[in-house]
Amino acid sequence: MKSAFIKFRGLLAELGISPREAQILSVRVEVDTNPPDGAITTTSVIRKFVTLNLLHYDRPSLLAGKLHAVLSRAYTKGRDLFDLVWYLTDRNWPEPNFTFLNNALTQTRWPGPKLTAANWRRVVMKRMGDIPWERAVKDVSPFLERSQDVNLLTLENVRKLLLDPPKSRRGHPLKGPCQEEKLILCEKIYFLAKLQCWDTSISTFAEISFGFRLQL
């Protein structure tokens, strides 16, 4: 794993987030020099604040990366739980990329079973039961743009989303940041820049902006 900081002077002011023109936004970029095989990338042209052509993981690979983080981190971060709920509440989100997910889990020596469409929800739910929820929720609370969103992070809500997921409504997607890759990327970048804190979902930003495969 290689890492570096990239500094953007004046970006926050240009986006209307900060009144100080000289304020610097520092972004830590982590590059996995030995990424697991199986991720699928695509590109999206984004027009929000600026126009960008972004290389990023496709939807199944994004979810696979988050599931890998949830299952393999020794210390579960609150941001992982928030992102997991974020993905699961989109009833049109596709199944995870199991090739990428299982390769990542093998690389990090995860001791559990091979994940498939038939078992991944049960396996993740079992992991949820081992998490100290009070600590995890406290961990993510300072980074939420809407403080009331912390009330969504409950074990019961995650259980319902995993084991009794809402049925897909094609043509009537849920409104919110998980509708499409471009909304995920823009909202996360804006949300994190607004808070002047890039700790949350740093991997997603770097992966998208620079086209690197990162270890989530």
Tens-place pLDDT, residues 105-153: 999 999 999 999 999 999 999 999 999 989 989 999 998 888 888 888 9
Does residue 60 fall inside a structural domain?
yes
Q: 52 in a domain, yes or no?
A: yes
pLDDT above 70 (res 209): no
Q: Quick one: pLDDT band at residue 98, thresholds 50, 70, 90?
A: very high
Q: Residue 166's pLDDT is what? A: 63
* Structural domain range at position 119: 2-210
Choose the most confident range, by mean pLDDT, from 117-121, 151-155, 195-199, 203-207.
117-121
Residue 216 lies in a domain: no
* Contact in structure between 80 and 66 (CB atoms under 8 Å): yes
Q: Is 34 part of any domain?
A: yes
- Encode pLDDT of 75-91 as tens digits: 888 999 999 999 999 98
Exposure class string for 182-195: b at 16+ Cβ within 10 A, else e: bbbbbbbbbbbbee
Count of the separate structural domains present in the chain: 1
The pLDDT value recorded for residue 95 is 97
pLDDT at 205: 37
Residue 72: per-residue pLDDT: 94
Query: Model confidence over 31-82: pLDDT tens digits?
Result: 888 899 999 999 999 887 778 898 999 999 999 999 999 999 988 889 999 9
Closest CA to 12 of 147, 195, 216, 213: 195
pLDDT (0 to 100) of residue 69: 94
Q: 23 Cβ partners below 8 Å, 6+ apart?
A: 9, 10, 12, 13
Please report, as a single letter, which amino acid is at residue 68.
H
Give the number of other CB atoms < 10 A from CB of residue 88. Answer: 21
Residue 40 lies in a domain: yes
Answer whether residue 177 is part of any domain.
Answer: yes
Domain presence at residue 215: no
Could you give the 3-state DSSP secondary structure of residue 198? coil
What pTM was estimated for this model as a whole?
Answer: 0.71
